[in-house]
Each structure stands twice: as structure tokens, then as C-alpha cells.
């Protein structure tokens, strides 16, 4: 009797009387980071079918690492655009540090809210 079976491009191994999926994790070295962890929890709760598909295909970690990198690069880009639009410069930092810190915290919080809404939890998240 054979120990392995392939159904729909997925390998199964005979264990006792049952065939269970022969899952192998990909060799992914990149961290999933803050945004990857947030999106993973979102998928578990709001889209368990996609979460299970990614796990079974061995693509979850890669998907989350890619999403985290994309979110971080978008965050940097949005922050830079907001700094230019609002006139937050190094001159402001030199002349009034507290005003610069307030402005940068405000910009960072608003930019992160955009990232969370669009990439992590919103309509672009799935």
C-alpha cells in the first residue's frame, strides 16, 4: 500500500487510516513585522478561508512579509508627502522642537491610519 497520494496538486500522507496534508513550510527569512501580524489576525477573524488557503499552500509567511514591506514603504512615502504639504521642515525642528514633534506625531498617526484602513483592515486588505 502506498503512503502518499496527490489530490488537486496537494500531497497527502497516510497516517493510520487517514490521509493528512503533507505541509512543508517555505524557507522565508523575512520578518512579518507589525503590519503583517495585524493583517494575520484580521484574516483569521474576517477571512478564514483565505487564511486557511494561504496556510495550506505554504504562502502565509511570504504574503505577510510582502504586505509588511509594502505597508512600511507606503507609510514612509505618505509621511514625506505630508511633511512637504504641511511645511514641516528641518528649520522648524531647529527653531521650535516641540512644534516639530507635535507636527510629526500628527503626521505619523494620520499616515498610519491610512495604511491600516487601506492595506491592513480595509477594502484593499483582501
pLDDT over 90 percentage in the chain: 68
pTM exceeds cut of 0.85: no
Instruction: Provide the residue count of the chain.
Output: 126
Read out DSSP for 59-84?
Answer: -HHHHHHHHHHHHHHHHHHHHHHHHH
CA dihedral sign of residues 46, 50, 55, 59 = negative
Q: Cα 93 from chain centroid?
A: 32
- Rounded distance between C-alpha atoms, residue 95 and residue 58, angstroms: 52
pLDDT per residue as tens digits for the range 8-20: 778 889 888 888 8
pLDDT given for residue 24 in this prediction: 74
Which cell is 45 given? 477573524
DSSP state of 116: I
- Model confidence at 1: pLDDT above 60: no
Which cell is 124 given? 484593499
- Model confidence at 33: pLDDT above 70: yes
- Count CA atoms closer than 13 A to 83's CA, side-chain side: 17
pLDDT given for residue 63 in this prediction: 95
pLDDT per residue as tens digits for the range 70-115: 999 999 999 999 999 999 999 999 999 999 999 999 999 999 999 9
Neighbours of 118 (CB within 10 A): 15
pLDDT given for residue 5 in this prediction: 74
pLDDT given for residue 93 in this prediction: 94
Amino acid at each position: 500500500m502506498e503512503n502518499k497520494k496527490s489530490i488537486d496538486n496537494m500531497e497527502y500522507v497516510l497516517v493510520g487510516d487517514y490521509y493528512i496534508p503533507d505541509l512543508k513550510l517555505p524557507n522565508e527569512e523575512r520578518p512579518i513585522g507589525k503590519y503583517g501580524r495585524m493583517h494575520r489576525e484580521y484574516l483569521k477573524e474576517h477571512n478564514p478561508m483565505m487564511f486557511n488557503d494561504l496556510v495550506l499552500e505554504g504562502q502565509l509567511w511570504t504574503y505577510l512579509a510582502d504586505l509588511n514591506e509594502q505597508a512600511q514603504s507606503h507609510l514612509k512615502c505618505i509621511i514625506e508627502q505630508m511633511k512637504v504639504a504641511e511645511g514641516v521642515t528641518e528649520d522648524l525642528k531647529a527653531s521650535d522642537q516641540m512644534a516639530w514633534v507635535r507636527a510629526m506625531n500628527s503626521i505619523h498617526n494620520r499616515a498610519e491610519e491610512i495604511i491600516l484602513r487601506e492595506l491592513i483592515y480595509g477594502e484593499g486588505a483582501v
